[in-house]
Amino acid sequence: MGRTLPTSTDLFLQEQESFGRFRRALRRSDQLALDDLFDSARLHLAATQYASHALPFEVMLLSMLLEEHKLVMRLREQFDIFSRRLP
């Protein structure tokens, strides 16, 4: 659409595709986990674009980490609740 630069979605797809060989050699179960990681990077494409970082993959890695950390935080909270309930 008359843009000079690829959008963050394009960049994302390029990065994901560049790991095609890596993904192919993984076990099916690991492939699914990898896809899940990439999906979590996708949740922050707007922020990735806004960051306009020269190395977008770094921001994507950080996005994956962000989602993982959210999960850890949530699990920890749940764990605290459960451990308090235990006798």
Contact pick of 10, 17, 39, 80 for another protein (by CB under 8 A)? 39
CB of 64 to another protein, least distance (A): 12
> Are 48 and 59 in contact, with CB atoms under 8 Å apart?
yes
Report the 3 state secondary structure along 16-61.
Answer: HHHCHHHHHCCCHHHHHHHHHHHHHHHCCHHHHHHHCCCCHHHHHH
Q: Is there binding between residue 33 and another protein (CB under 8 A)?
A: yes
Binding site for another protein (CB under 8 A): 1-5, 7, 27-29, 32-33, 36, 39-40, 42-46, 49-50, 52-54, 71, 74-75, 78
